[in-house]
Amino acid sequence: MKPISYTVETKSGRARTGVIHTPHGDVQTPAFVPVGTKAGVKGILPSQLKDLGAQVVLANTYHLYLQPGEQVVKGAGGLGKFMGYDGPTMTDSGGFQVFSLGSAFGRTITKIAKGEENARDQGVAVVDEDMRSQHGQLAVIDEEGVTFTSHHDGSLHRFTPERSIEIQHALGADMFFAFDECTSPTEPYEYQKEAMERTHKWALRSLKAHRQNIEANRSQGIFGIVQGGRFEDLREESAKEIASMDFDGFGIGGSFSKEDMEGALQAAVKHLPEEKPRHFLGIGEPGDLLLGIAEGMDTFDCVAATRLGRHGSIYTKNGQINLKNEKYRSDYSLLNEGGVAIPGTEGFTKAYVSHLIRSNEILGQIIASMHNLGFIIALVDGAREAIRNGTFEQYREDFSRGYYG
């Protein structure tokens, strides 16, 4: 019996609810997955994640490989024990972070291209001018893997599919991803196709490396990743190819613009098997989450909630607001006025948190981050209930009307 399995429970159109069964517990889907890049969600204790409703946490292979090293994490008993979290865990392959040092280096291009702060927090290395002049392009991709220099100290490293899987075996997460090439959304068709075909070859090598490790094969599930950029025909081709492989689940990689997201997603999802879980990588904006759910995706991860919180922006039912704006100095309404109570943030007003943010008090960043993460988790949980009740489209429409106006 494989360590990861999926049960579909209810459907409403293409949207669905289900349960991902893992060695560390079940995940009710659809579900939002907080990102703990370096084995810690910024500003939030593992126990608080549970209070906020988080069911699973994702960490970053590239960063944990560089600091503290995968053997340190393995020595602690794996990612969950290392960070003091007893629920299901995931790791990515490190491909996106390595990509950020290659074709996107110096341009702070993210999966959906949104600027430097977003790049930093997704794990994209935004490197200083001295290192740039010394190393130029910090990653070189070939058919076998990627050679790159650390953004910490310039030391030389190499990832191949086999090495990425070896690292992720040591990290010990319940679910992890095959090594892929995540391209820039701006790359032309010819390169997207080349990168997609390379991703397919690496997927086979990743899968083989995992299945050959008997111990890991009994305790960890591997997900293949669909690529193809913003081009629907490539997404469709990639989905068919990856779906034909014996993965335990599937991820859809980013690398498309906002306007291309729906078409690229639809082209891919229809070729993925119903009986296995589907993860949408790097997606966390409220409308994008609801779009993904509507198209049949099960889980999502993104750093945006805590990133925005650290910079003073919060989600509300009427849209995103920036607490640094002058009008919030004396706004004594609650952070989530009229919305679901978010554990750990009850009773705090916009004026108070605005004051903390303006004063550079870390407490303000923590409260805002907890609020945002709780808001997003509650949004997805609400969608799950709406699917079960057969009211998802109305739920999506009502939320969008209030949030986007």
Name which of 156, 151, 206 is nearest 180 in CA terms. Answer: 206
From residue 378, how far is each of 7, 381, 398 by CA, in Å?
22, 5, 15
Cβ atoms of 18 and 293 within 8 Å: the answer is no
Is 92 among the catalytic positions?
Answer: yes
The vertex-72 CA angle with 147 and 224, nearest 5°, equals 50
Residue 16: partners with Cβ closer than 8 Å, 6 or more residues away: 8, 9, 10, 29, 30, 296, 298, 387
What would the two tokens of residue 92 be? 């990515």
Q: Please tell me what DSSP assigns to residue 375.
A: H
268/295 Cα distance (integer angstroms): 10
Task: Report the SS3 class of residue 345.
Answer: coil
What would the two tokens of residue 239 be? 């989905």
Q: Report cis status (omega within 30 of 0) of the bond before 68.
A: yes
250/296 Cα distance (integer angstroms): 12
Q: Which of 121, 174, 298, 301 does the annotation list as catalytic?
A: 301
190/198 Cα distance (integer angstroms): 13
Give the largest CA-CA distance in the chain: 61
275/295 Cα distance (integer angstroms): 15
Q: Which of 26, 51, 92, 128 does the annotation list as catalytic?
A: 92
101/125 Cα distance (integer angstroms): 6
What would the two tokens of residue 284 be? 């966390």
178/200 Cα distance (integer angstroms): 10
Active-site annotation, residues: 92, 301
